Each structure stands twice: as C-alpha cells, then as structure tokens.
C-alpha cells in the first residue's frame, strides 16, 4: 500500500505529516510505503491514499482518489483515528 502525505506548496508540513503517519501505522500494524509531496506533484502520483489538510484534499479529490482529511497534521490521535476509519474499513 502507498500513502502520500500532501501539503500546499513546499514539503515541510507534508514531511512532518509523513513522519507521524509512519509512527501511527507502526502501532496499528499497517504495512505501507509513506512518502510526501506538494499538491501539484501529487496530482501526477499514484497512491492508495492521499492524506492532508481538508483544503488540500478538496483540491485533490476527483472521485477516483481516496483522500483522507486531517485538521491537525501533528495530532497522532487524529491521524490514528483517520487511518483506522478509512484503511481498516
């Protein structure tokens, strides 16, 4: 499985989000390749799940991509809840 952490322009917030996703999937026992990128680049990348802020996910959502919105990119409990809800569904 591939999970792509996405931010608006740079790579700073998506990198922090990717690090936190890796922490959470480790505790959940999920095996995934986690990487990060900016919004423009993410539109050309293939992933099983795209994770980022609600505003970014709204721009990325096209009815085909599986997007997961996270309000607080640093909140491990929120990331865990979202991954559990969407990936283990």
Confidence of residue 67 (pLDDT cuts 50, 70, 90): very high
Question: For residue 83, which of 23, 8, 13 has the smallest C-alpha distance?
Answer: 23
- Measured CA to CA, the distance from residue 44 to residue 31 in angstroms comes to 23
Torsion of the alpha carbons at 73, 37, 88 and 48, rounded to the nearest 10: 160
Mean pLDDT, the chain, integer: 93
Cα distance between the two ends of the chain? 15
So what's the pLDDT on residue 11?
80
Q: What is the pTM of this model?
A: 0.93
**Residue-wise over 52-86: b if at least 16 C-beta within 10 A, else e?**
bbeebbebbeeeebebbbbeebeeeebbbebbeee
Amino acid 20: pLDDT: 97
> 2-87 in CATH: which number?
3.40.50.2300
């Amino acid at each position: 499985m591939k999970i792509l952490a996405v931010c608006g322009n740079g790579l700073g917030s998506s990198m922090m989000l990717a690090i936190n996703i890796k922490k959470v999937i480790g505790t959940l026992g999920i095996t995934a390749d986690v990487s990060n990128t900016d919004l423009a680049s993410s539109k050309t990348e293939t992933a099983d799940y795209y994770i980022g802020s609600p505003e970014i996910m709204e721009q990325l959502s096209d009815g085909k991509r599986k997007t997961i919105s996270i309000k607080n990119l640093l909140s491990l409990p929120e990331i865990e809840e979202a991954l559990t809800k969407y990936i283990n569904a």
